[in-house]
Amino acid sequence: MDLLDSIFSQASVDILMKLGVIIIKIAIVIGITLLHVAYATYWERKVIGHMQVRLGPIEVGWHGFLQPIADGIKLFFKEDIIPANADKPLFYLAPVIFMVSALTSLSVLPFFDGFVIADINIGLLFLFAMSSLGAYGIILSGWASNSKYSFLGGLRSASQVISYEIAMGLSLVGVMMMAGSLNLSDIVRAQQQYPAGMFAVPQFLGFFVFIVAAFAETNRLPFDLPEAESELVAGYFTEYSGFRFALFFLGEYTAMLIMSSIAALCFLGGWTIPKFITDWFPVLLRLPAWSWVVIFLAKVYAFMFFYYWVRATLPRYRYDQLMAIGWKILIPLALFNIALTGLVKIWI
């Protein structure tokens, strides 16, 4: 009996230690993500301001550095207005679904080798599932608001998700074929077996399709048709205010971080330095472990800068053009890339 008690007590300690490590990882990832989201808005306003030859926020803090904190406090204390004829349970639930689905996706993202909350074998499929659930938050918010503008924004989002999620999924099939795995850590390691050290070179067609689909998935210009201020006031969140509006805002920027992370992990080599660079400078292979995070974040923020650059450059597409690009161009290109990748794998 003493032996059994000691075994069970040791097992309980091990379980508690593992649970504690997971909780610490979750706290670190969510804390850093929310801080990132706050200052991603500041960075975007500054970048676009300078691109359009204006200053951006400058009033709160040094060069407006405390503006995200001021915005958060303002949104937290703003009055929460609910339309009289809204479907209140769904109205309350929609922004929570949108935000939670975005935060849940963070659980399978490896920020460097060995640091991931859930290192599951179907990490890529899990990300697709969570992004699909996020679309329900948009659709339900449009329906529950009992507003024509919100309803049209929700309908646009539903059709956008159907078309562009197919294209995005197909764009990553070539990556899965080359890596032989759906595990994101394995995909990063597999890229080191190729001369370029990243799949963006052999999978340039898939990378192009992914980039365009990522803009549509996150409702960013030039594909922000579910919001479309010039047509739908603010689209699916027209009737939201205060902290519920902030949840949609946080969810959108978290989704941008996730899409940028997928691009870095699946096409740009993740936390690794491209092989052609390390062949010339082998000293880079001896960099300390903390530098992996810096390398990964540099790739993520480079992709996010591209988001801002496109927003400041391109006008919004018409809705028929948006759907035509998804069904007539991106999906055929992604299918052609899959066929080409399969032929190359057979021949080589």
Regarding whether 91 and 56 lie in a shared domain, the answer is: no
**Distance, CA of 55 to CA of 66 (rounded, Å):** 15
Regarding whether 128 and 15 lie in a shared domain, the answer is: no
Return the pLDDT at 12: 67
Residue 293 has pLDDT above 60, yes or no: yes
Average pLDDT over residues 135-146: 83
For the stretch 96-134, pLDDT in tens is 888 888 888 888 888 777 777 777 888 888 888 887 788
Regarding whether 326 and 233 lie in a shared domain, the answer is: yes
Regarding whether 170 and 71 lie in a shared domain, the answer is: no
Regarding whether 182 and 50 lie in a shared domain, the answer is: no
Regarding whether 40 and 134 lie in a shared domain, the answer is: no
Q: How confident is the model at residue 4 (pLDDT cuts 50, 70, 90)?
A: very low
Regarding whether 228 and 113 lie in a shared domain, the answer is: yes
Q: DSSP code of 1?
A: -
63-77, 103-117, 192-206, 319-333: range with lowest mean pLDDT? 103-117
**Distance, CA of 201 to CA of 206 (rounded, Å):** 10
Return the pLDDT at 160: 83
Which one of 59, 77, 95 terminates a domain?
Answer: 77
Total domains present in the chain: 2
Average pLDDT over residues 26-30: 77
- Sorted by sequence, the CB contacts under 8 Å of residue 26 that are 6+ apart come out as 107, 117
Residue 1 has pLDDT above 60, yes or no: no
212-216, 282-286, 322-326: range with lowest mean pLDDT? 282-286
Distances (CA, A) of 313 to 56, 222, 304, 310: 17, 9, 14, 5
Q: Which domain holds residue 308?
A: 82-347
Regarding whether 254 and 135 lie in a shared domain, the answer is: yes
Return the pLDDT at 10: 61
Regarding whether 135 and 29 lie in a shared domain, the answer is: no
Regarding whether 98 and 61 lie in a shared domain, the answer is: no
Structure tokens at 316: 């919004």
Q: How confident is the model at residue 9 (pLDDT cuts 50, 70, 90)?
A: low
Return the pLDDT at 208: 94
Class of residue 34 by CB neighbours under 10 A (exposed 0-12, middle 13-18, buried 19+): middle
Class of residue 190 by CB neighbours under 10 A (exposed 0-12, middle 13-18, buried 19+): middle
Closest CA to 227 of 237, 218, 217: 237
Proportion of the chain above pLDDT 70, given as a percent: 95
Class of residue 212 by CB neighbours under 10 A (exposed 0-12, middle 13-18, buried 19+): buried
Which one of 11, 45, 77 terminates a domain?
Answer: 77
Q: How confident is the model at residue 210 (pLDDT cuts 50, 70, 90)?
A: very high
> At which residue do the structure tokens 């204390």 appear?
77
Q: Which residues pair with 112 in a beta bridge?
A: 115
- The answer to whether 195 and 275 are in contact (CB under 8 A) is yes
CA 266 remoteness from chain centre: 13
Most confident range (mean pLDDT) of 153-162, 174-183, 231-240 is 174-183
- Choose between 160 and 170: higher pLDDT: 170
Which one of 54, 77, 100 terminates a domain?
Answer: 77
Return the pLDDT at 2: 52
What is the chain's mean pLDDT, rounded? Answer: 83
Regarding whether 119 and 12 lie in a shared domain, the answer is: no
Regarding whether 285 and 197 lie in a shared domain, the answer is: yes
